[in-house]
Amino acid sequence: MLFTEFDLAGSRLANRITMAPMTRSRTSQPGDVPNALMATYYQQRASAGLIISEGTPVSAVARGYSLTPGIYTQAQIEGWKLVTDAVHQKGGKIFTQLWHVGRRSHTDIAGEQPVAPSAIKQADKVYGPLAGGGYGMVETSVPRAMTQTDIDQTVADFVQAAKNAIEAGFDGIELHGAHGYLLDQFMRKVSNQRQDQYGGSQQNRIRLTVDIINAVADAIGANKVAIRLSPLVGEGFSEVDSDIIDVTKLLLKEIAPLNLAYVHFSENIGEYTEATDHFRQEMRAIYPHTIMVAGKLTQESAQTLLTKGYADLVAFGTPYVTNPDLVERFKHNKPLAEFDADARLTLYGGNEVGYIDYPTAS
């Protein structure tokens, strides 16, 4: 089933293998503009049934990692056109992942004090400017709690970013609602201690996510909208919230009638709970539409998910760093190039080395 075509909301995918979103920080400066180097990187991997771009901030304050490509200026939109054109030339499909990091940022990256559901700092490090020059991992700043005006602006930023993505040639968008970023922060008690309509009850904690999904779906069509969730992973990859699975179930019930392009579960990162058959059956029953799963999958485990009907699409992250021809390697049982210490050193920032210089299998 890995290599069978799939109808994704009316768009034909060549196979069910997805390239998961991965931050690579290769934009042109100033302005965090996508460029020809990035176009080459994504085009090399266009044999995937679907590519999901690296996290793409919807505004300046949404940024949490330096050199990541935005989608809120015209220059960024034009830069992304190079990427989408390159992928489409190879017959591929590409969604962009719309991103707001919330409290997982630094003032020198966001350009102002980071914003979050509540003014609670998370002990974390992000890729940003170093005091002595250059870039490296820096401690996050203390955020300020978002006002209603901030929330309204954030909804508007996501809507505009989605429209910009369509203008840039993307086939759709994925909202980043996972991994302890803004939408995930609102859904979890550990990071959301608000006393207004966006905090407290489970219904209140999913409100912002539901509002953004509905607004973006109204703007570009629900069939072009997806969301990534990580209910089995701790917020910021730390301890898992006691009720986040129940919160996720409530969210899925709310959005199921929209029949989004897909719901993407990210798993097996940091501190996590193992997915059981019961969990997968429950998610499928609540959300009977297209489901994608990512998280240290192998060809064999991915095939099992498809065979059991637990997933319709399977996503691979780090294998795509060193194996641009991952689909072909799987199909012809060729060994994978290892993701080793050298590959890890070139994940963020730099040039073509460790980015577009990985060879295809002979």
Tell me the pLDDT tens digit for each residue of 15-65: 999 999 999 999 999 999 999 999 999 999 999 999 999 999 999 999 999
Give the 3-state secondary structure of residue 20: coil
Mean pLDDT of the chain: 96
Please state, in angstroms and rounded to a whole number, the distance separating the CA atoms of residues 227 and 97.
Answer: 9
How high is the pLDDT of residue 362? Answer: 73
The closest alpha carbon to 116, from 140, 81, 92, belongs to: 140
pTM beyond cutoff 0.85: yes
Please state, in angstroms and rounded to a whole number, the distance separating the CA atoms of residues 210 and 348.
Answer: 32
Please name every residue paired with 106 in a beta bridge, in sequence order, or none if there are none. none
The closest alpha carbon to 105, from 86, 127, 85, belongs to: 127
Give the 3-state secondary structure of residue 221: coil
Q: What is the DSSP letter of 3?
A: T
Peptide bond into 30 cis (omega under 30): yes
How high is the pLDDT of residue 13? Answer: 98
% of the chain surpassing 70 pLDDT: 98
Q: Which amino acid is at 205?
A: R
| Spatial contact of 80 and 54, defined as CB atoms under 8 Å apart | no
Please state, in angstroms and rounded to a whole number, the distance separating the CA atoms of residues 145 and 192.
Answer: 9
Catalytic residue IDs: 181
pLDDT digit string (tens) for 270-311? 888 899 999 999 999 999 999 999 999 999 999 999 999 999
How high is the pLDDT of residue 160? Answer: 98
Q: Which CATH architecture has domain 6-105+144-345?
A: Alpha-Beta Barrel (3.20)
How high is the pLDDT of residue 228? Answer: 98
Position 239 confidence tier, pLDDT thresholds 50, 70, 90: low
Position 75 confidence tier, pLDDT thresholds 50, 70, 90: very high
Segments making up each domain of the chain, as ranges: 6-105+144-345
Of all helices (H) and strands (E), which one includes residue 98? strand 94-99
Say which residue, 177 or 10, is predicted with more confidence: 177
Tell me the two tokens of residue 288. Answer: 């009977």
| Spatial contact of 187 and 204, defined as CB atoms under 8 Å apart | no
Please name every residue paired with 18 in a beta bridge, in sequence order, or none if there are none. 50, 315
Please name every residue paired with 265 in a beta bridge, in sequence order, or none if there are none. 229, 293
